[in-house]
Structure 1
C-alpha cells in the first residue's frame, strides 16, 4: 500500500455516511443478529470450559469449582478480545453478518480495546437499561453509546474491502 493510498484510507471522511452510505446500510439490524449468534457461540464455549472446570475442580479437591463464578464473564471477555481485537476485526457473529469494526480513523481494534468495548457495552446495558441502544437511532453512523465513547464504528466489511481495493489500485 503506498503512502498516498494509506493517507486517503485513514482519513476520517472514509467513514462519513454522506460520502459512503453503503458502509452503514443495514448495520443496525445485522448487528442485532450478530449479537444473537455471538451469544450462542459464547454459551457453547462456556459449556466446554465448564466441563474443563469440573475436572479441574475434581483434581483440586473442590478448589477449582470456584471458577464457575467468573466462567461466563471470562469466556465472553476472552472471546471478544481475541476475535474483535484480532486480524479480522470482528466476532464470529459479525463475520456471519458481514460486519467489522474499525477505529474512527480506519485502524483495526486491538484486543484491549475490544475487551473494554464489551465491558462498556455490558455496563451501559446494566446501568442505563436497554434503552441506551436507542442512541443508534440518532447517530449518523448507527453507533451505540459505547461505540461513541471509544471512537469506533461498525461497518459493512464487503463494501469496505471493495473500497480499500479500489483505492489501492488507483
Structure 2
C-alpha cells in the first residue's frame, strides 16, 4: 500500500500580498527624512549638552578622570536615542514621528534596539567617510533607501498609509 502526496503544480503557489511593496508608501519620504534628521540632531545635541554638564560635575568629583568621557558623549547619546526610539514600539525617532514616518525591516517587522543603534552608526560613518553625497543613493533606489538602509535592510515608509489612513 502506498500513499501519495497531493499533486502540486507550478501555478499552485500561494500568492502573498506584501504591503511594503506599494509605491505610495514611499512618496515624499526623502524630504521628510531630511527634516526628521534635523529634528533628531537637535534632540541629540540637547541630550549631549545635558550629559556634558553631568560629566563636568563628575569630573570635579573624580579629579578630572570623568572628563575623558567627553570624547564619546555625542556618539553615546546618538546611539542611545536612536536605539530607544527607532527600536521602540513606534519604530520612529521623535523627528520621524513629527514627519509621519516609521521604520520597518524588509519582512515588515519593526527593528529592535541593535538594528536601530547600528542604523545611526552606519549613517554617521557613511556621511563622514563617503561625504554627504552618499545620500543621493536614495534618489535612485525604488524604495527611496539610503546606503545604510540597504546594508541593514530597513525601509522608511509613510506611517499613515501603512496603517491605512492615507489617501
Give the one of 24, 32, 48 matched to 1:30.
Answer: 32
- 2:23 is aligned to 21
- 1:67 is aligned to 69
Give the one of 111, 115, 118 matched to 1:113.
Answer: 115
Cα distance in 2 between the residues matched to 1:162 and 1:13: 14
Q: How many residues align?
A: 151
Residue 13 of structure 1 and its aligned partner are, at CA, apart by 2.6
Give 4+ residue runs of structure 1 displaced > 4 Å after superposition: none
Residue 12 of structure 1 and its aligned partner are, at CA, apart by 7.3
- 1:89 is aligned to 91
Larger Cα Rg: Structure 1 or Structure 2?
2
Unpaired stretches in structure 1, ≥5 consecutive residues: 1-7, 164-170
Cα distance in 1 between the residues matched to 2:71 and 2:131: 23
Residue 120 of structure 1 and its aligned partner are, at CA, apart by 1.0
Higher relative contact order (Cα pairs below 8 Å, separated by 6+ residues): 1
1:89·1:101 contact (CA, 8 Å) conserved in 2? yes
Residue 22 of structure 1 and its aligned partner are, at CA, apart by 2.3
- 2:44 is aligned to 42
Q: Could you give the per-residue CA deviations for residues 49-107 of structure 1, whole angstroms, max 9, x where no partner exists?
A: 11111111111111111111111111111111111011110100000000010000110
Q: Could you give the per-residue CA deviations for residues 126-169 of structure 1, whole angstroms, max 9, x where no partner exists?
A: 12111111111111110001101111100011111127xxxxxx
